[in-house]
Amino acid sequence: MLINIFGIIGILVWIIFAVMLAAMFGAMFAPDKEKITGRIIIAALLLVPSLILVPLSFAVCLMLTVIFIIVGVSVFGIRITIELLVQGIPEVDEHGNIVENIPEVKPTAPWG
């Protein structure tokens, strides 16, 4: 049931995004308000390419993310990549030295 709902929402978002993209291209190619019929015609003609462009852009984004992960792991190595993910990227000063934030321990009085 939940998968069906997500599928319907995904298809609706896909269609709405494609219509908005086609309308944007129509407004770009016919910028004058007097050419409203030209905008409608251009947007209608660009609707099918926009429907194809939306999933392709999602696939390209997914592929670029996978490529960046593979390049990052191959450049830094698996162990260093896991350490960076777990501990975070260290802070580096302008000379390239790693800044370690060691909290200052204030001396306390023996009676306090």
Task: Check: CB of residue 54 under 8 Å from CB of residue 18.
Answer: yes
Give the per-residue pLDDT at 23: 84
Give the per-residue pLDDT at 84: 78
Task: Check: CB of residue 30 under 8 Å from CB of residue 38.
Answer: yes
Task: Say if residue 19 is exposed, middle or buried (CB neighbours under 10 Å; 0-12, 13-18, 19+).
Answer: middle
* Number of domains composing the chain: 1
pLDDT tens over the chain, length 112 residues:
888 888 888 888 888 888 888 888 888 877 776 777 877 888 888 888 888 888 888 888 889 999 988 887 888 788 887 887 788 777 788 887 877 776 666 777 677 5
Residue 97 placed within a domain: no
Residue 59 placed within a domain: yes
| Range of the structural domain that residue 69 is part of | 8-88
How many C-beta atoms surround the C-beta of residue 58 within 10 A? 12
Residue 74 placed within a domain: yes
